């Protein structure tokens, strides 16, 4: 298990969800992690240092001005010690202070001395606070610095009349995110190429053919590869996601754009994961101006777009290839046909009902060597499981 023997600092913010952090600490300790805890003053209005000391068997950092605690578990010592800092709950206030680098309590000061790429934040707040432009801007900036996020979930708030995104993820999900964040660096310096998101095939300057792909699965695959040490190039269609730190992102729009980008970034790549939802057809002609309504029926002529994955599989020498199959029926059989037809090493298949716009995923992974594995969880958890299967098949 990824957390066994690893050093995790749990920073608890001041919100009603703080009680869930006790279970997060318990799950980590049960799995063999070394856990230390830092509490903000507001957190201590909801949970006590004694509770976390009993759960972890270690001193708790609760007062930045305590000489005794500074010697036992000072913020700099905690920062040097921790391999991962989990912030749960990550309140709107704590997120804002993390963005501006304010270190005025034990938890915030420890976080200030830890690289953002070692932060895992579990946001928790009222849904209106979560939706506010200020909070979303802070989340975006922290993500660009390398911070990871788990949740928030959609559900009932402490104010029972409020329901929406903002509820802190459940402890088991936060624990799983810790395991993902502490994954082994078994792809150190391996160059990989990931495609993600939808393509847009323009009808005219303002209309296009596309699909509902959010790009989250492909971006999670890229982030998981980066966290395991890979040199990642991510070629993505139009999405609304914060750019991952330490990943080369190449923006494309159409299937033709994607094909050209893949070809130009393929040199030296050892693994290609084609998670993009590429349009199979495009309009035969693009109108130079916005097309106006016409009386009667209209006919749109479509032509095929390039089959990028099939082209890669047909090359005499090609990287290890992972394809995706989003199906509406006969999921496994259709995936097996695509696996063989396109000469893939692995294919990741799912029903489109489980594919688009969600934070979690449920997939079936098939290998040309006969492997078959069903995976379910957050998209980052699924991504790591896919990379586990790739690692088993990657020479050297």
Catalytic pick among 93, 211, 334, 343: 211
Q: Tell me how crowded residue 298 is: count the other CB atoms within 10 A of its CB.
A: 8
Residues 6+ apart with CB under 8 A from 337: none
Give me the sign of the Cα torsion angle 158, 159, 163, 165: negative
Q: Are 21 and 89 in contact (CB under 8 A)?
A: yes
The token pair that represents 23 in the structure block = 């279970």
Q: How far apart are CA 266 and CA 235, in angstroms?
A: 11
Q: Which of 50, 13, 359 is nearest to 217 (CA)?
A: 359
**Concatenated DSSP letters of 161-217:** T-EEEEEPPPHHHHHHHHHHHT---TTTT-EEEEEESB--EEEETTEEE-----SHH
Total count of residues recorded for the chain: 396
Strands lying side by side in the sheet with 191-196: 248-251, 231-236, 191-196, 271-274, 320-327, 346-351, 360-367, 372-378
Give catalytic status of residue 211 as yes or no.
yes
3-state secondary structure of 88: strand
Q: Are 173 and 378 in contact (CB under 8 A)?
A: yes
How many helical (H) and strand (E) elements, i.e. helices and strands, does the chain have? Answer: 14, 20
Q: Which of 200, 207, 286, 194 is nearest to 248 (CA)?
A: 194
Q: How far apart are CA 112 and CA 98, in angstroms?
A: 7
Q: How far apart are CA 285 and CA 99, in angstroms?
A: 47
Q: Which of 227, 133, 115, 137 is nearest to 180 (CA)?
A: 227
CA 190 to chain centre: 20
Residues belonging to the active site? 211
């Amino acid at each position: 298990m990824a957390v066994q023997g690893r050093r995790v600092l749990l920073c608890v913010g001041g919100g009603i969800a703080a009680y869930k952090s006790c279970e997060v600490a318990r799950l980590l300790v049960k799995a063999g992690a070394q856990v230390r805890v830092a509490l903000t003053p507001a957190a201590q209005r909801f949970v006590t240092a004694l509770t976390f000391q009993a759960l972890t068997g270690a001193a708790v950092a609760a007062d930045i001005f305590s000489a005794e605690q500074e010697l036992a578990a000072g913020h700099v010592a905690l920062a040097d010690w921790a391999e991962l800092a989990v912030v749960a709950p990550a309140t709107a206030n704590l997120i804002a202070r993390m963005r501006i680098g304010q270190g005025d309590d034990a938890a915030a000061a420890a976080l200030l001395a830890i690289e953002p790429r070692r932060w895992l934040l579990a946001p928790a707040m009222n849904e209106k606070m979560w939706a506010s432009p200020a909070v979303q801007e802070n989340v975006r900036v922290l993500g660009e610095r390398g911070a990871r996020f788990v949740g928030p979930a959609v559900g009932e708030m402490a104010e029972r009349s409020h329901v929406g995104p903002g509820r802190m993820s459940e402890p088991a999900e936060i624990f799983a995110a810790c395991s993902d964040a502490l994954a082994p660096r078994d792809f150190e310096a391996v160059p990989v190429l990931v495609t993600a998101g939808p393509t847009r095939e323009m009808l005219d300057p303002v209309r296009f053919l596309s699909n509902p792909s959010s790009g989250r699965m492909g971006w999670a695959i890229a982030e998981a590869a980066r966290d395991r040490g890979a040199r990642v190039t991510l070629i993505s269609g139009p999405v609304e996601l914060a750019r991952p730190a330490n990943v080369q992102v190449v923006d494309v729009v159409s299937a033709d754009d994607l094909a050209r980008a893949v070809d130009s970034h393929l040199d030296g790549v050892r693994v290609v994961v084609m998670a993009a939802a590429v349009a199979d057809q495009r309009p035969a002609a693009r109108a130079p101006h916005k097309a106006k309504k016409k009386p009667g029926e209209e006919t749109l002529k479509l032509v095929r777009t390039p089959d990028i994955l099939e082209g890669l599989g047909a090359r005499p020498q090609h990287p290890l290839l992972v394809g995706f199959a989003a199906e509406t029926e006969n999921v496994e059989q259709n995936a097996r046909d695509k696996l063989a037809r396109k000469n893939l090493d692995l294919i990741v298949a799912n029903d489109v009902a489980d594919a688009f716009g969600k934070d979690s995923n449920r997939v079936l992974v098939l290998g040309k060597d006969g492997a078959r594995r069903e995976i379910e969880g957050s998209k980052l958890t699924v991504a790591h499981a896919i990379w586990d299967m790739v690692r088993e098949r990657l020479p050297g």
